[in-house]
Amino acid sequence: MESFLSRFKNSLVLITIVLVQAIGLAIQVQRPKEDAKTLGTDGQHTTLLRYWTVSLVTPFEKVIHWSSFDVWKVWSGYVGLRHAHQQNEQLELEIARLRQEQAAFAEDAAQGRRLQALLAFKQQYISQTVAAQVIGTSGVDSSRMLYLDKGSADGLKPDQAVITPDGVVGKLRDVFPHTAQLLLLNDATSGAGVVLESTRIRGILRGTANGRVQINNLTADSRIKPGEKVITSGGDQVFPRGLPVGVIESVAPDPQHQPYMAITIHTDANLSRLEEVLVITGTQATLPAAAEQDAALADAAAEENKRAADVIAEKLPSIGESGATGSTGSSGETGSTENSIRGVPGIPNSGLPKTVPVVHPDKYSPGAAPPAENLQPGGASAPQ
Amino acid sequence: MDTGIGREEKLSAAKLHMTQYVVAAVMLVLGIGLWRLQVLGSDNYKVLAEQNRVRKVPVLAPRGKIFDREGRIIVDNYPSVSCYLLRDQQQKLEADLPLISGGLHIPVDQIEADLKRFQYAPKYQSIPLKQDITPDEQAFIEAHRNELPELETLDEQRRLYPRDGFAAHMIGYVGEISENDLNEEKYAAYSPGDVVGKSGVEEAYDSVLRGVDGSRDVIVNSHGKEVGTLGQEMATPGKDLRLTLDLDLQMAAEKALEGKIGAIVAMDPHTGEILAMVSRPTYDPNEFAVRLTKAYWKSINEDPNHPMMNKALQAQLAPGSTFKVIMTLAGLQENVAQDMHVVCNGGATFYGHFFGCDKHHGSVDIHNALPYSCDTFYYTLAAKLGIDKIAAYGHSVGMGMKTGIDLPDEQVGVMPSEPWKLKTLHDKWYAGDTISVGIGQGFDEATPIQLARALSGIASGGALVRPHVLLPGQISESQQTAIEQTYTGSGAARIPITTENWQTITDDMANVLSPIGTAAEAHLEGVDFAGKTGTADVISGRKKGTADKSTIPNAWFVGMTPRRNPDIVVAVLWEHGYWGNNSAKLAAQVINAYVTKQRSKAGNLMRYASAPKTDGVGQPVAKHEDAPVGLGGSAPATPTGQ
């Protein structure tokens, strides 16, 4: 052994140095540009080292996941075999029934779509999804991340939305050739634009450090109540519009974040027990272009109206064309323009207002001013 | 092998020792270096590392709201989110720019320009990218937090002003502090990026309204991700302020000036409280609260009528015949005017020059000179008094001086005098100059607020006040003193007026609105309305039959009620409004709003009595002129003054 070490001392040292340098380089070097291009639109900041590690580890993870799954399958298959014949007959009946149902549902769906188009209801239709299995967790408690068994080879890209049939789960973070990281909604770095379904109030969803999902950019509003449905708004450019997120669980003032409320959401998808998820790889708007534009315009108008600034602006005084005096709470007796007389032609409000007759003369009445000798300079205009 | 041994043998022992010492020395140096870093410098580096770990996030104090005298809101705040770019943790900024640009709807070159603008600023200072972002843009930032940790959002309370430029000049607006301001002494406590009042009440009371920003110490990990909060210093909100403004009167004044150029200021002459202040044309202060667009800035900057100018304080124009009230005071107090009788034949000749009057008033004395606004009488009076006495009385009521109102950029106007002319024009005073001054023309210049203070002070028997816009008792004494020292002026003063003279002047002013007066058309039925018109020629002089509005005289009116110790004074400047009585009707609108409100409060209105629609409200139509009421109407007979 000693002789081996001493004999190959030089080459061993050389190999070690080269290895260390390679690792050092891998830490510094980011993935090549053309690689990043195929993976996502943004500049990926994954280092080579991490890329290698993930690529090395995941095959093992996959093998372990599948082998445990297979063992269970073999066992249950053997046990199940005994009832197979009975079940087969039942199942064939079932299939026939389901086929009929399926045809009916397809018709219903088509009708639903037509109705939605009629109502100019703007919705992005999910046109393509990739089903993926959850094969591992990040292993760290503070970050809520899962690994999926599909990667860029299957058409996945960073920032794609991940859902289950129940609702939104999260989005893809880093994508590797055969694996991808799923960042869950309840991770502290997660966020999504949402809309409260019935009130159409827009909010921002964020994960919290203790794994809950909250909306924390809304000020107190009596319309926000527990039980209200929350759906995605589509404004964040990650999650398509109209996907179910969850329901409001509680609404409480946020002491850390003064004027705002902490609105906790109970997610529709069970984020702590995920096995199969769908990654949305393609969306399309099925509406004709004109209807699309209409919907966008209506949306824009609705959003304009909902800005906090506009709500408050209505409480401020304004000259306006009508009802301006009402906004200041004045009694409306302050020289309204219709009563004006002898104005300059063509110039608005240049005439003389009409006065309202008084019940009894007061200090503003003609002839009421006391002679100067009865007054103190700067004093009251009439002696008390 | 042989050669190797041979080479070894050639190395002398001395050389070998030398090498050893060199190596040892190098090791020693390295060792000392390590010791310095690890032991001696440890505290220092620990602090540096901590600073890296803990980030101070400002918590902006909400600015105080502004209310009117009855507690009705004028200026409010609304919650808004701004986006900042952090530079201390992200080297790969360039690669992210397209994504940021797409999500926040900012062109890439604008972000690059911002980066360039801040390239010499310290790295820990974040760059403001976009203010008042939309919910969608905020959602974009939150959804891309892992890819774009360099984007940071900050909740702010943003200023919201009334629409249509309502009371805009008086209230002012806020904006980011400019680099020039930062170099000034009064902004010593401010730092770049601070929002500061730029004009009006927002500027004058900035220190009261702004509050004190707090901060939050946020713990961040090596990726700049927020992992916790160490502690926070709460922001102290700015103080809400109540102004002396009465929204009802302000509304009446805003409406009265609609479609005109000029200013209206209404004041309580007992206290100096400003009840309404309007200047036209106006601007939208909300445009200044978020980033000002070039187009809007261009439009208001190039408007020849100066929308940004608060004409109530800053328009220095010839006061015209309104100055005759001050002349009357001087004439009576000097015992010159009492027995003066002048026969007006449409003007008179002084020092070889003919000075015109707008009509033949016939026999004029002190009792009808003011209602007639007879120029000939006041030419004669000016000649008898001389410029020194006129200037002394002018100064005593605050002409040529700031009033000391608690609003920035008040102008002084001009009270011409011998020393003034020598100093400003480097010319001696000619006796003929005095004649024009007597009717408020010539070198005479005044602002609406000066005239409001002066004429109401005379009507109050010589008790002059300091105009102000803040209701008293809201700020500390030291702050009040600071305000008074910042905005100095003629302030509160007492001038002697004999009881008889007080009676004469105030009755004369009331007669201006009587059937014989120049403002007979503006007579308000059932209101003891007094005042003085002014039809002031613009410098270029009147031109007959021209469509050019800029040569039409400025119409002034200062009115008040009741006639002695008035409760309200309203000064109106209608630029190119032709006759003073046109302005008088605008003042009547405000006066009527005030009186009606007071009577309504006292339950002294016949609410359900339908006012009979008599055309002249029982008032004979003015007989003194063939009523050129239209702006484009027939040209006046003779130019006055000049």
If you ran DSSP here, which 8-state letter would residue A365 be given?
S
What local confidence, expressed as pLDDT, does residue A346 receive? 75
CA angle B279, B283, B289 (to 5 degrees): 130
Reference B398, options B489, B506, B264, B332; nearest CA is B489
Chosen from A44, A183, A352 to mutate, greatest number of chain B CBs within 10 A: A352
Structure tokens at B486: 């910042």
For residue B375, pLDDT over 60 is answered with yes
> Which residues does chain A have within 8 Å of residue B92's beta carbon, measured at their own beta carbons?
43, 45
Chosen from B65, B97, B146 to mutate, greatest number of chain A CBs within 10 A: B146
CA angle B302, B305, B310 (to 5 degrees): 110
Chain B nearest CA to A133, separation (Å): 23
CA distances from B635 to B96, B442, B631, B639 (A): 69, 21, 9, 10
* Each residue's pLDDT tens digit, B279-334: 999 998 888 876 677 888 888 888 888 899 999 999 999 999 999 999 999 999 99
Structure tokens at B412: 């002084």
Q: B462: Cβ–Cβ under 8 A, 6 or more apart, which residues? A: A377, A378, B494, B495, B496, B497, B502
* Each residue's pLDDT tens digit, B210-248: 888 888 787 776 655 666 777 778 888 889 999 999 999
Q: Average pLDDT for residues B85-100, to the nearest whole number?
A: 75
* Each residue's pLDDT tens digit, B406-425: 999 999 999 999 999 999 99
Instruction: Select the more confidently predicted residue: B136 or B399.
Output: B399
Inter-chain CB proximity A364 and B611 less than 8 Å: no
What local confidence, expressed as pLDDT, does residue B537 receive? 86
> Which residues does chain A have within 8 Å of residue B258's beta carbon, measured at their own beta carbons?
319, 348-349
Residues of chain A under the 70 pLDDT cut: 1-2, 28-47, 79-80, 82, 110-127, 139-142, 256, 258-259, 283-311, 320-341, 382-384
Dihedral angle sign, alpha carbons of residues A71, A75, A78, A84: negative
Q: How far apart are CA B529 and CA B522, in angstroms?
A: 9
> Which residues does chain B have within 8 Å of residue A333's beta carbon, measured at their own beta carbons?
596-597, 600, 605
By C-alpha distance, the chain B residue nearest A317 is B162
The H or E element containing residue B99 is helix B93-104
> Which residues does chain B have within 8 Å of residue A343's beta carbon, measured at their own beta carbons?
585
Q: How far apart are CA B426 and CA B422, in angstroms?
A: 4
Chain B nearest CA to A33, separation (Å): 11
Chain A nearest CA to B270, separation (Å): 6
If you ran DSSP here, which 8-state letter would residue A323 be given?
S
ipTM over 0.85: no
Q: How far apart are CA A125 and CA A224, in angstroms?
A: 28
By C-alpha distance, the chain A residue nearest B530 is A366
Q: How far apart are CA A279 and CA B27, in angstroms?
A: 58
Chosen from A194, A238, A316 to mutate, greatest number of chain B CBs within 10 A: A316
CATH number of B247-281+311-601: 3.40.710.10
Task: Give the model's confidence band at B56: pLDDT under 50 very low, under 70 low, under 90 confident, else very high.
Answer: confident
Class of domain B55-242: alpha beta
- Compare CB distances from B611 to A204, A256, A357 and report the shortest one's residue: A357
Which residue, chain included where needed, has tokens 């046990």? A79
Q: Average pLDDT for residues B460-486, to the nearest whole number?
A: 93
What local confidence, expressed as pLDDT, does residue A187 receive? 87
DSSP for B576-639 reads T--SHHHHHHHHHHHHHHHHHHHHHHTT-B-TTSPPP--TTTT-PPP-SS----STTSPPPSS-
Q: How far apart are CA B494 and CA B612, in angstroms?
A: 44
DSSP for B255-316 reads HHTTT--EEEEEEETTTTEEEEEEEES---THHHHSPPPHHHHHHHHS-TT-TTS-HHHH--
Task: Give the model's confidence band at B266: pLDDT under 50 very low, under 70 low, under 90 confident, else very high.
Answer: very high
Q: Do B478 and B294 form a contact (C-beta atoms < 8 A)? A: no
> Which residues does chain A have within 8 Å of residue B103's beta carbon, measured at their own beta carbons?
237
Chain B nearest CA to A349, separation (Å): 5
Q: How far apart are CA B354 and CA B375, in angstroms?
A: 12
Tell me the longest C-alpha to C-alpha distance in chain A. Answer: 129
Inter-chain CB proximity B585 and A333 less than 8 Å: no
Q: Do B246 and B268 form a contact (C-beta atoms < 8 A)? A: no
Phi then psi for residue A101, to 5 deg, are -60, -40
A 10 A CB-CB count for B156 gives 20
Q: How far apart are CA A337 and CA B627, in angstroms?
A: 22
- Compare CB distances from A364 to B158, B259, B598 and report the shortest one's residue: B598
Inter-chain CB proximity B582 and A42 less than 8 Å: no
Q: How far apart are CA A169 and CA A164, in angstroms?
A: 7
Chosen from A334, A375, A376 to mutate, greatest number of chain B CBs within 10 A: A334
What local confidence, expressed as pLDDT, does residue A332 receive? 40
Inter-chain CB proximity A356 and B611 less than 8 Å: yes
CA A41 to chain centre: 20
For residue B478, pLDDT over 70 is answered with yes
Which residue, chain included where needed, has tokens 């440890």? B42
By C-alpha distance, the chain A residue nearest B158 is A309
* Each residue's pLDDT tens digit, B539-564: 665 555 555 677 889 999 999 999 99
Phi then psi for residue B57, to 5 deg, are -110, 120
Q: Do B165 and B303 form a contact (C-beta atoms < 8 A)? A: no
> Which residues does chain A have within 8 Å of residue B228's beta carbon, measured at their own beta carbons?
209
What local confidence, expressed as pLDDT, does residue A291 receive? 46
Phi-psi region of B240 (alpha: psi -120 to 50; beta: other; left: phi over 0): beta
> Which residues does chain A have within 8 Å of residue B260's beta carbon, measured at their own beta carbons?
347, 350
CA angle A252, A257, A260 (to 5 degrees): 50
Structure tokens at A110: 């088509």
Chosen from B81, B131, B599 to mutate, greatest number of chain A CBs within 10 A: B599
Structure tokens at B464: 């002059």
- Compare CB distances from A355 to B141, B147, B592 and report the shortest one's residue: B592
Task: Give the model's confidence band at B103: pLDDT under 50 very low, under 70 low, under 90 confident, else very high.
Answer: confident
Structure tokens at A143: 């970050």
Inter-chain CB proximity B227 and A239 less than 8 Å: no
CA B598 to chain centre: 29
Q: Do A151 and A314 form a contact (C-beta atoms < 8 A)? A: no
β B195-197/B214-220 pair status: unpaired
Instruction: Select the more confidently predicted residue: A174 or B594.
Output: B594
Chain B nearest CA to A304, separation (Å): 10
Q: Do B532 and B571 form a contact (C-beta atoms < 8 A)? A: no
Q: Do B367 and B341 form a contact (C-beta atoms < 8 A)? A: no
- Compare CB distances from A351 to B74, B254, B585 and report the shortest one's residue: B585
Inter-chain CB proximity A41 and B99 less than 8 Å: yes
Q: How far apart are CA B269 and CA B70, in angstroms?
A: 19
Domain boundaries, chain B: 55-242, 247-281+311-601
By C-alpha distance, the chain B residue nearest A334 is B593
Q: Do A47 and A28 form a contact (C-beta atoms < 8 A)? A: yes
Q: Do A288 and A186 form a contact (C-beta atoms < 8 A)? A: no
End-to-end CA distance of chain A: 120
Phi then psi for residue A84, to 5 deg, are -60, -45
Q: Do A152 and A177 form a contact (C-beta atoms < 8 A)? A: yes
pTM of model > 0.90:
no
Inter-chain CB proximity B461 and A375 less than 8 Å: yes
* Each residue's pLDDT tens digit, B157-168: 788 899 888 999
Q: How far apart are CA A153 and CA B395, in angstroms?
A: 89
Inter-chain CB proximity B247 and A330 less than 8 Å: yes
Q: How far apart are CA A114 and CA B502, in angstroms?
A: 86
* Each residue's pLDDT tens digit, B112-159: 888 888 777 777 677 888 888 888 888 888 888 878 878 888 877 788
Which residue, chain included where needed, has tokens 């009251």? A380
* Each residue's pLDDT tens digit, B425-448: 999 999 889 999 999 998 999 999
Reference B200, options B405, B53, B341, B388; nearest CA is B405
DSSP for A178-241 reads S-EEEEETTSTT-EEEEEETTT--EEEEEE-TTS-EEEEEEE--TT--TT-EEEE-STTSSSPT
Inter-chain CB proximity B596 and A356 less than 8 Å: yes
Q: How far apart are CA B507 and CA B521, in angstroms?
A: 18
Inter-chain CB proximity A334 and B586 less than 8 Å: no
- Compare CB distances from B630 to A344, A381, A382 and report the shortest one's residue: A344
- Compare CB distances from A354 to B461, B497, B617 and report the shortest one's residue: B617
CA angle B494, B497, B502 (to 5 degrees): 120
Chain B nearest CA to A223, separation (Å): 18
Chain B nearest CA to A318, separation (Å): 5
Amino acid A66 reads W
CA B153 to chain centre: 32
Q: How far apart are CA A211 and CA A221, in angstroms?
A: 25
CA distances from B564 to A222, A268, B270 (A): 54, 76, 11
What local confidence, expressed as pLDDT, does residue A327 receive? 35
Inter-chain CB proximity B566 and A381 less than 8 Å: yes
Share of chain B above pLDDT 70, in %: 88
